[in-house]
Chains A and B, each alone.
Chain A
Amino acid sequence: MTHHETVYPKRPWKATKSDLIPVIGLLVLAAVVDYAVVAVTPMKGKLAYAFLFFVFGAGFQMALKWKQLGRRAAVDSLAGSVAISGAALAFIPVASLLITAVTKGLKGLYPGFFIHDMSVANYQSPLNQGGVLPAIVGTLYLIVIATLISLPLSLLTALYLTEIKGKASGFIQFLIQAMSGIPSVVAGVFIYSAFLLTTSLRGSTIMGALALSILMIPTVTRTAQEVLLLVPRDLREAGLALGATQWKTVATIVVPAARNGLITAVILGVARIAGETAPLLFTIGVSNKVNLNPLSGGQASLPIYIWGGLGDGSETGINRAWSAILVLLIIVLTLFVIARVFGTRKVKTK
């Protein structure tokens, strides 16, 4: 094989490196002027820095474009600056959230945090006592049971929408969308009103899992439906042409082909409910010890632990809340990454 030099088309409209020099230079100048103005005028604080940096930065770029290319280019430059600033406003809170969670959360983390319960410690105990073991166990319990309830319902609904495509498809689709908008607190009070208000039953893991399933079903159904639609029609027709029944085709060809995508669907559903607090306030009761019985007795969970720390309001309580939220965030982020990895190869084509 001989090596040919690839010839790329020229792109005269693209900015060259020398075009960038005045742009960057003006940004530096804007920062300097910004600093100077904040120093000499009564405007103070981060807000003043940010606002004036936008004014000077965008202003200088506009002036440059105006001089180079005229008024329309200046307006274009201003629009670009506004778009960049808007995006910055959207992403600054994320950075702040993550940084705060890590810095504040690390304070209360010690090895025992993962293996102790709260039977002898309370929120105001020193940070080296007590921990979230029951909460972690409870959260995993809730996730597993909610998945067991919602996966069959979601998968069957998704299969109805993709394999049968019956007359009611549009209506079912509509219901699933409507369901995805149910506020989490409504799911909680519904389970309370249906099972707990007038009976002798008390909050337990299964009640919490039922409430969470209501929130999980729409997410799993929609993702599963998308994934099943990606399975090539050829595969279904091949199965039927070979004499398989539709049931056999779906069970042995379509669902296995979409397996990775279906796993993604479940993980996204789990990520949706892992941090839900409001439904659990009405449904799982309380427990400061590990409770392995899903049918009776209160249950602990990470969101409720955080909620308790915030409600306690003491310094150690808030610290504990941050530590628990860090644990919860790590769980959610891990799920998110796993979903991404599976999601990149949604459907097996071989």
Chain B
Amino acid sequence: MSSTVLEHPTPEKRHITTKPRPSDVAFRATLNVMSYSSLLILAAIGGFLAYRGYDAFKHNGIGFITKVDWNSSAGDGNGPYGMAAMIVGTLVISLVALVIGVPISVLTALFLTYYAPEGLKKALVTVVDLMASFPSILYGLWGFIVLAPMATYWAKLVYKYLGWIPFLSVPQPAFDRSPFLAGIVLSIMIIPIVTSISREIFAQTPLERIQAAYALGATRWGMIRAVVLPFGASGVVGGAMLGLGRALGETVAVYSVLNIVFKINWHILYGFGGNVASMIVLKFGEASFNEKKALLAAGFVLFVMTLLVNIVANSVVSRAVKSGK
């Protein structure tokens, strides 16, 4: 018997390799390279805008950000250019948008998660998604035609009863095309994103904690206050920051409703304001070569502002989502 085994000698050792075949080498190399296209695009945006805007930064120095004058008619078109009024204006209307939009969004998210019956909930979630895909010029046109008269009326009411608060006062009774109106339009535009992020986080609240709260005799509101809100707070903050990122960069809707003037205005009800994005559109058409460079520099500032806000917002949201899982 042993002889028969010997008649079949041990086969030669096979060569086993993990070397990928050429098609895979090419495939993986392509993906590795192409995945960096996003880096390339972001770097190109920052690079080109900074490069073209360099002259404006050089001529105006830090004054480009801290000074208010935007003088395009002076001599060689080199300014002085300063976008302080626009930066302040952008922050003011974005804050108005957050103050109005975030509470409404959180309430909507709570309503959708814990109050609405199943059928209504599905329909309304679709509507929220739909709202996010409306073109911004629709919000602009609607804000200009439909909302503006109402907002002027509301502004007068607010002024009448709360005008003693410094930022709600006005130097003269001019309420049209105010940061207040622009803020309301923006608040409507950020509702979809803040609502859907908040809803996503609220829906991740651990069921056992919810049931524990009910078992201890909590009412629905008691449960929400003790369980859902503490759990979802960081997600709501992240969602609000994503909304802020959107509000900072909005162009067309703000341009349509806001009276853009190069002066710092803290009075949100008063009829003029500013916004970096719409200022670029406003000035670009008739700008000289040098002024265009200054506007590209303004674009660079806007790019950096929104990038920073978005990076922080995304890290807050992803941390909140992870902790929920």
Taking CB atoms, residues of chain B closer than 8 Å to A342 are none
How many angstroms from the CA of A217 to the CA of B49 in the assembled complex?
A: 20
Q: How many residues of B contact A (CB 8 A)?
A: 94
> Is there contact, CB below 8 Å, between B249 and A97?
no
A184 on interface, CB distance cutoff 8 Å:
yes
B124 at the binding interface (Cβ < 8 Å)? yes
> B315 → chain A, closest Cβ, in Å?
9
Are A90 and B292 within 8 A (Cβ)?
A: no
Specify which of B37, B249, B314 is in contact with A177 (CB 8 Å cutoff).
B314
Is A278's beta carbon under 8 Å from chain B? yes
CB atoms of B221 and A277 under 8 A apart: no
Best-buried of B126, B144, B251, B309 by chain A (most CB within 10 Å): B251
CB distance from A9 to the nearest CB of B (A): 16
A-B pair number, CB within 8 angstroms: 264
A172 contacts B35, C-beta separation under 8 Å = yes
Residues of B near A293 (CB, < 8 A) are none
Q: Which of B290-304 contact A (CB under 8 A)?
A: 292-293, 295-296, 299, 302-303
> Which residue in B28, B280, B314 is a CB contact (below 8 Å) of A189?
B280
Q: Which residues on A sit within 8 Å (CB–CB) of B245?
A: 181
Q: Return the contact of B137 from the options A45, A160, A246, A277 (Cβ within 8 A).
A: A277
Q: Which of A167-191 contact B (CB under 8 A)?
A: 168, 172, 174-187, 189-190
- The yes or no answer to A83 lying at the interface (CB within 8 A) is yes
Q: Quick check: B111 and A160 within 8 Å, CB to CB? A: no
Q: Do B191 and A90 touch (CB < 8 A)?
A: yes
Could you tell me if A183 and B302 are in contact, using CB atoms closer than 8 angstroms?
yes
Q: Mark A296-320, 1 if CB is under 8 A from B, else 0.
A: 0000000100110010000000100
Residue-by-residue, is A27-47 near B (CB-CB < 8 Å gives 1, otherwise 0)?
000000000000000000101
Query: B48: which of A83, A100, A190, A274 is its contact (CB, 8 Å)?
Result: A190
Tell whether, in the assembled complex, residue B138 and residue A97 are in contact, meaning their CB atoms are under 8 Å apart.
yes
Tell whether B226 is near chain A: CB-to-CB under 8 Å: no
CB closest residue in chain B, given A325: B138
Q: B153: which A residues are within 8 A, CB to CB?
A: 45, 47
Stretch at the interface among A72-80, A111-119, A121-129, A256-264: A72-80
B142 interface contact, C-beta 8 A: yes
- CB of B23 within 8 A of CB of A101, answer no
Q: Which residues of B contact A8 (CB under 8 A)?
A: none
Residue of A82, A89, A176, A189 ringed by the most chain B CB atoms within 10 A:
A189
**B256 with A310: CB separation less than 8 A:** yes
B261 within 8 A of A: no
Which interface residue of B107, B195, B222, B242 has the most chain A CB atoms within 10 A? Answer: B107
CB distance from B218 to the nearest CB of A (A): 9
Tell yes or no: B70 within 8 A of A by CB: no
A226 interface hit (Cβ, 8 Å): no
Q: Chain B residues near A104: list those with CB within 8 A.
A: 145
Please tell me if A329 contacts chain B, counting CB pairs below 8 Å.
yes
A303 to B224, CA, bound (A): 43
Contact across chains for A186 and B34 when beta carbons are under 8 A apart: no
B12–chain A nearest beta-carbon distance, Å:
22
Q: How far is the CA of A254 from the CA of B113 in the complex (A)?
A: 34
Within the complex, the shortest CB–CB distance from B44 to chain A, in Å, comes to 7
Size of interface on A: residues with Cβ below 8 Å to B: 89
Q: Are B306 and A186 in contact (CB under 8 A)?
A: yes
Tell me, yes or no, whether A49 is within 8 Å of chain B by CB. no
CB neighbours (8 Å) of B195 from chain A are 90
B146 near A96: Cβ-Cβ < 8 Å: yes
Distance of B305 from chain A, by nearest CB (Å)? 9
B251 adjacent to A185 (CB under 8 Å)? yes
Which chain B positions have C-beta within 8 A of A89? 104, 107
Query: Would you call B135 and A248 a contact (CB within 8 A)?
Result: no
The CA of A299 and the CA of B222, in the complex, are separated in Å by 58
User: Which residues of chain B are within 8 angstroms of A274 by Cβ–Cβ distance?
Assistant: 135
In the complex, the answer to whether A86 meets B38 with C-beta atoms within 8 Å is no
Q: Which of B21, B111, B281 contacts A278 (CB 8 A)?
A: B281
Complex: A14 Cα to B222 Cα, angstroms? 18
B contact residues around A176 at 8 Å (CB): 38
**Per-position binary interface string of chain A over residues 145-169, scored 1 when its CB falls under 8 Å from any chain B CB and 0 otherwise:** 0000000110011011101101010
Q: Which residues of A contact B220 (CB under 8 A)?
A: 76, 79-80
With A87-B112, A189-B296, A245-B24 in contact, is A177–B281 under 8 Å at CB? no
Instruction: Answer yes or no: B127 CB below 8 A from chain A CBs.
Output: yes
Residues in A with CB closer than 8 Å to B45 are 182, 186-187, 190, 214
The answer to the question of B41 belonging to the interface, with a C-beta cut-off of 8 Å to chain A, is yes
Report how far A239 CA is from B49 CA in the complex, Å: 46
Contact residue among A73, A87, A247, A328 (Cβ-Cβ distance under 8 Å from B23): A247
List residues of chain A with CB within 8 A of the CB of B86: none
CB pairs A–B below 8 angstroms (18 shown): A86-B106, A94-B130, A101-B142, A157-B35, A160-B32, A176-B38, A177-B310, A185-B281, A197-B296, A246-B27, A247-B26, A277-B136, A281-B284, A303-B137, A318-B141, A321-B141, A325-B137, A332-B133
Given contacts A175-B39, A336-B129, 9 further A-B contacts (CB under 8 A): A72-B219, A76-B220, A79-B220, A94-B127, A156-B30, A157-B35, A181-B245, A184-B136, A184-B249
